């Protein structure tokens, strides 16, 4: 498939999806959400790929859902719409491990991508927050709570406050913080290490991990 709003690269057993709306801070409009879903479906059916990395072009990982789409519908309605539901379902149910290479701020829906990945590696410039609660869009509490625990997750989801990469490392949201120019190398190294295991083992473990959460996005 030819993608307009992201790039997809393969390197042996790993692939890198790069959100490519840098001029819009990689905001997740319907088109980009649909392309992310399509790219994950393509990689899921490719038995030569064991692990996927998601990153962003430019200085921002993703500013979240594109607020220009809120002109016709409320933020909550956009979040609950078919495009958003199918996109979140595909991220959660992607059959292979996902590594987030967080090259800059991951806000709102960008933060949600990070929490729906299995491993998170951040550049020193990364930051996280759910500012969308201030204008009526819900934050994804469940995946965040599964990573950092309910108390801190409630604080971040209800307050919308922003945390930096150092705090993200301290609370266990990310496993590494590296200089920006080392981020993709670190993410590729993590992906290659994971890809050393047989694909059947990885997909079986991933299925078990998703099943253990006890909540699911419906397509």
Could you give the residue numbers annotated as active site? 132
121 within 8 A of 103, measured Cβ to Cβ: no
DSSP structure string for 131-148: GGGGGTPPP-HHHHHHHH
Strands 98-102 and 51-56, by their bridges, are: parallel
- N-terminal to C-terminal alpha carbon distance within the chain: 21
60 within 8 A of 26, measured Cβ to Cβ: yes
| 58, HSE (Cβ side, Cα atoms, 13 Å) | 16
């Amino acid at each position: 498939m030819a993608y307009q709003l992201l790039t997809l690269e393969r390197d042996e057993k790993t692939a890198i999806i790069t959100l490519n709306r840098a001029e819009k801070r990689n905001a997740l409009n319907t088109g980009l959400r649909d392309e992310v879903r399509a790219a994950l479906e393509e990689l899921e059916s490719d038995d030569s790929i064991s692990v996927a990395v998601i990153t962003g072009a430019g200085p921002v990982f993703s500013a979240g859902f594109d607020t220009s789409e809120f002109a016709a519908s409320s933020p909550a309605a956009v979040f609950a719409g078919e495009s958003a539901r199918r996109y979140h379902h595909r991220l959660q149910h992607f059959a292979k491990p996902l590594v987030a290479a967080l090259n800059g701020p991951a806000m709102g829906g960008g933060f949600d991508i990070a929490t729906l990945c299995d491993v998170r590696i951040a550049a020193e410039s990364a930051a996280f927050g759910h500012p969308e609660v201030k204008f009526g869009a819900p934050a994804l509490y469940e995946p965040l709570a599964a990573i950092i625990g309910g108390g801190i997750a409630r604080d971040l989801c209800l307050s919308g406050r922003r945390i930096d990469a150092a705090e993200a490392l301290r609370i266990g949201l990310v496993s590494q913080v590296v200089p920006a120019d080392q981020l993709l190398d670190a993410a590729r190294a993590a992906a290659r290490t994971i890809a050393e295991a047989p694909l059947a083992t990885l997909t079986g473990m991933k299925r078990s991990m998703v099943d253990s959460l006890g909540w699911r996005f419906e397509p």
